[in-house]
A and B are shown apart, each in its own frame.
Chain A
Amino acid sequence: MAALPTQQITAPDGGPTEPAPLAKRSWYRSSSRSGGAVSFVFRFLLAAIIIMAALFPLAWMAISGFKARNEVVTSPFQFFPDVWMPQNYTEILADPSFTRALAVSFAGAVAFATLTLAVNSMAAYAFARLDFAFKNVLWVAVLSTMFIPQMAILITSYIVVTRMGMLNTFWVLLVPGAAAGIHTFFIRQFYLGIPSSLEEAALLDGAGRWRIFTLIFLPMSKPVFVVVGITSFLVFWNAYVWPVLTITEPDSPLTQIQQYLATFRSERRVEYGLLLAGSTMAAMPVIVLFLIFQRYIISGIRISGIK
């Protein structure tokens, strides 16, 4: 009897999606009613543990940003501060090199994502729709760049950008990673799925390929652009090793947020509250971005079924 309400909770409450009805069957059917209740409690606990484990470090980071400096690591452990102090947050925001690092990271990530989308979507369209000489050879060449591990070319890329005089410029952060076989591949897959009838009508009307790309394909690209755009935003925002190598001037105006945090950690070890407040501020933009676009991202990984 007690199990009934819980069964109703897991029943598909008006969800037209397929997997929910299965939920009822796959776990309960073979067990007795009380077994069903146990399984519900068990699954609920498991879900709670997973959510806790995933989000705890971030929650702890954000909350510890409100603690006095000697309160972050204490014995006995305290999750919440004795006194909530926004000082760490206001102080780190008042540090001009912190806000500059945030701004440089943000502007750079937006520029990088835009450049990535432009370069790779043009190539993707050509490889998906156009007929040209050496197409297959070029496509295999572009694709095979996907399998080159970062470390294999890190050192010589550094030599190349050094020889090109790009060290300590904005370009060294922006240009080398902009073209990526994986992005071209991903956008091309999407373009292959767009029916060619749309295009043929435009061709008959005399539209050129460039017009077709900009007026038909680009407006339809939103789902795939969100995934690729966010991915490259993240890559830029989270980049640490490449900027450390290529932005070498101390206190360079191009210092980005991850570099700032890593330097802060090694140089001002004891100011944990300040460091965690800064880390929280640095994590916030990407989390917010993910939450806004998570539907696209999740469907981008070919998730179908449950929403």
Chain B
Amino acid sequence: MRTKTATAARAGASPSGRRRPKHKDNRIAFAMIAPAVILLSIFVVWPLVYAWVVSFYQWSFYESSVFVGLRNFRIVLEDPVFWASIGRGLTFSAITVPAILLIAFAFANLVKTMSARMAGVLKVSIYIPSVISFVIASIVFVLIFEYRQGLLNFLISSFGGSDVAWIGSARTALLAISVPAIWIGLGLASLIMLAGLLDIPESYYEAAEMEGANWFQRTFFITIPLMKNILLYVLVTTFVATIQQYELPLVMTQGGPTQSTLLPNLLIFQKFTNDLYLGYPIAAALLLFLVLGAISAVIFKLINSEKAVDG
């Protein structure tokens, strides 16, 4: 490239640039994107390509690998533990996602009616948990769920109930780990919903009120239809985030008791750290990636085109 322009200059192209080079900023542009592109290539693109390669082999750190074709994928797809973890992941999302959506929607509507100062306090309060790490959240909530003398059981027994082994019993453990997930996930969802709510023109509500519409009518006929895209965005991003959750069960329950909190990513992570051969966890991770990557890409496209419209 460089020699080409040099010869062009020597050949006596007019200095005022009658014949401008096609891409005038090549050199500085490549220098500026190089660090990002190189790092992404080594640590994101190559691992992904490599994962596809490894998924066709019986691969381990200690032996030479053997090509096995689609066997790893077949093993994953035929494994009842994998499907059980998917079902569990969907159950976990079915608990956390609606809870986050409903609370965030109520929160956004509430903040809208508050004085400026109160709104500020509310926004900051709901966002603070989302900067806390899953490890710290796990530590705190494990103690709240403690069987003997934990806070939750204290509250229950003071209303006359009996103690529940929240994270110690297979029936309640998944529910228990979804509480910190909701607690942490609420902040971002609430603020995005609030942003969407504030974008709805005032005049719509004023007109509706003149017609005598009550709060429920205004919510169902104005707010929800106009926030359709925001709601869809929050729904899908929250779903994609929760279906991939594994740090909370990793720290709180290690997937137990009796696999009741073994979410899909935790299963993959445990297979990775315990198994000798990496075919299974990599194939499982790629299967999830195909589904989730596609979902996020579609949503991003939707949102980005939306953004382009309102500038």
- Interface on A for B, CB 8 Å cutoff? 9-13, 15, 17-23, 25-27, 29-30, 43, 46-47, 50-51, 53-55, 57-58, 60-61, 64, 72-77, 118-120, 122-123, 125-127, 130-133, 135, 138, 141-142, 144-157, 159-162, 175-179, 181, 184, 208-210, 213, 234, 237-238, 240-241, 245, 258, 261-262, 265, 272, 275-276, 279, 282-283, 286-287, 289-291, 294, 297-298, 301-307
Q: Which residues of A contact B40 (CB under 8 A)?
A: 141-142, 145, 179, 181
Within 8 A of A (CB), among B139-192: 139-144, 146, 148-151, 154-155, 158, 183, 186, 188, 191-192
Q: Which residues of B contact A77 (CB under 8 A)?
A: 149, 151, 154-155
Question: Do A127 and B33 touch (CB < 8 A)?
Answer: yes
20 extra A-B contacts, CB within 8 A, seeds A149-B289, A240-B135, A290-B128: A17-B116, A22-B112, A25-B205, A26-B112, A43-B113, A57-B137, A60-B144, A61-B140, A73-B146, A126-B28, A142-B33, A150-B244, A153-B48, A156-B47, A156-B282, A159-B50, A210-B28, A241-B269, A258-B133, A258-B135
Tell yes or no: B11 within 8 A of A by CB: no
Q: Which residues of B contact A262 (CB under 8 A)?
A: 135, 251
CA distance A76 to B149 in the complex (A): 7
Name B47's contact: one of A146, A160, A282 (CB within 8 Å). A160
Chain B's closest residue to A156 (CB) is B47
Question: Do A240 and B195 touch (CB < 8 A)?
Answer: no
Indicate the member of A22, A53, A75, A132 with the most B CB atoms within 10 Å.
A132
Q: How many A-B residue pairs have CB under 8 A?
A: 329
Q: Which residues of A contact B205 (CB under 8 A)?
A: 22, 25-26
Question: Do A57 and B144 touch (CB < 8 A)?
Answer: yes
Question: Do B191 and A301 touch (CB < 8 A)?
Answer: yes
Question: Do B133 and A287 touch (CB < 8 A)?
Answer: no
Question: Do A153 and B129 touch (CB < 8 A)?
Answer: no
Q: Which residues of B contact A286 (CB under 8 A)?
A: 131-132
CA distance A302 to B199 in the complex (A): 10
Question: Do B111 and A306 touch (CB < 8 A)?
Answer: yes
Question: Do B125 and A51 touch (CB < 8 A)?
Answer: yes
Q: What class of interface size applies to chain B in its complex with A? A: 35 or more
Question: Do B32 and A26 touch (CB < 8 A)?
Answer: no
CA distance A54 to B37 in the complex (A): 39
Question: Do B126 and A54 touch (CB < 8 A)?
Answer: yes
Name A58's contact: one of B35, B39, B106, B132 (CB within 8 Å). B132
CA distance A73 to B131 in the complex (A): 25
Chain A's closest residue to B126 (CB) is A54
Question: Do A240 and B251 touch (CB < 8 A)?
Answer: yes
Question: Do B186 and A54 touch (CB < 8 A)?
Answer: yes
Question: Do B115 and A153 touch (CB < 8 A)?
Answer: no
Chain B's closest residue to A14 (CB) is B116
Tell yes or no: B285 within 8 A of A by CB: yes
CA distance A197 to B128 in the complex (A): 40
Within 8 A of A (CB), among B189-228: 191-192, 194-195, 198-199, 202, 205-206, 209, 212-215, 218
Chain B's closest residue to A159 (CB) is B50
Question: Do A122 and B36 touch (CB < 8 A)?
Answer: yes
CA distance A76 to B46 in the complex (A): 56
Question: Do B206 and A234 touch (CB < 8 A)?
Answer: no
Tell yes or no: B265 within 8 A of A by CB: yes
Q: Can you name 18 A-B residue pairings with CB atoms under 8 Å?
A: A19-B112, A20-B116, A22-B205, A54-B125, A73-B148, A73-B149, A133-B22, A145-B44, A148-B289, A149-B244, A151-B265, A161-B43, A178-B39, A179-B39, A241-B250, A241-B269, A286-B132, A303-B123
Q: Which residues of A contact B25 (CB under 8 A)?
A: 126, 130-132, 209
CA distance A160 to B45 in the complex (A): 11
Question: Do B288 and A122 touch (CB < 8 A)?
Answer: no
Q: Which residues of B contact A261 (CB under 8 A)?
A: 135-136, 139
CA distance A213 to B29 in the complex (A): 11
Question: Do A25 and B209 touch (CB < 8 A)?
Answer: yes
Q: Which residues of A contact B183 (CB under 8 A)?
A: 53-54, 57
Chain A's closest residue to B254 (CB) is A266
Question: Do B45 and A145 touch (CB < 8 A)?
Answer: yes
